[in-house]
Amino acid sequence: MDISGGIDAENRDIYMVKQNGGKHQQWDLIYVKDWKGEPKDGEWNHRFGFKVNRPFYVISRLGSGRYLDYISRDLLIKTQNGRTSQQWYFHQPSRTVRGKATNQSWDIKSSGKA
């Protein structure tokens, strides 16, 4: 099964096509009896490995152990300073990591394309 145009939007057509490995052809199955609903605040989202809406730090494994920080629309590493610009959380509805200070999700410039 493939989603028309590979676009994640309401009411997109589904059709059968040769497998190409794209995300628009990947699906999760959940048996109705096993569905417990979306994780709530503080509960683990086991698929993504985060606790929902629980703040965390991202710390470099380099010797100095600097923290991921958000400054002027850029991500960089800085010494721990206690500011919310160094705190992150998993946002369950969008399934993204967001900054506590800005409520904005991480993004890769140009979707990682050169």
- Based on the fold, state whether residues 91 and 49 are members of the same structural domain: yes
The answer as to whether 113 is a domain residue is no
Q: What is the pLDDT of residues 27-67, one digit of tens each?
A: 776 677 877 888 899 999 988 889 999 999 999 988 888 99
75: number of Cβ within 10 Å: 13
The answer as to whether 32 is a domain residue is no
Q: What is the pLDDT of residues 60-99, one digit of tens each?
A: 988 888 999 998 888 889 999 989 999 999 999 998 999 9
- Based on the fold, state whether residues 87 and 49 are members of the same structural domain: yes
Q: Is the confidence at residue 13, as pLDDT, over 90? A: no
The answer as to whether 112 is a domain residue is no
| Residue span of the structural domain in which 60 resides | 37-106
Task: Please give the C-alpha separations between residue 111 and each of 41, 94, 96, in angstroms, as whole numbers.
Answer: 29, 17, 15
- Based on the fold, state whether residues 10 and 61 are members of the same structural domain: no
How many domains would you assign to the chain? Answer: 2
Calculate mean pLDDT across residues 12-26: 83
pLDDT of residue 114: 60
CATH classification of the domain holding 45:
2.80.10.50
Q: Is the confidence at residue 23, as pLDDT, over 90? A: no
- Based on the fold, state whether residues 45 and 1 are members of the same structural domain: no
Q: How confident is the model at residue 112 (pLDDT cuts 50, 70, 90)?
A: low
SS3 sequence of 61-97: CCCCCCEEEEECCEEEEECCCCCHHHCEEEECCCCEE
pLDDT of residue 51: 93
- Based on the fold, state whether residues 54 and 84 are members of the same structural domain: yes
Nearest residue to 71 (alpha-carbon basis) of 55, 84, 56, 89? 84
- Based on the fold, state whether residues 73 and 45 are members of the same structural domain: yes
CA angle centred on 58, ends 8 and 105, rounded to 5°: 25
The answer as to whether 60 is a domain residue is yes
Under 8 Å between Cβ of 65 and 39? no
Nearest residue to 40 (alpha-carbon basis) of 92, 88, 89? 92
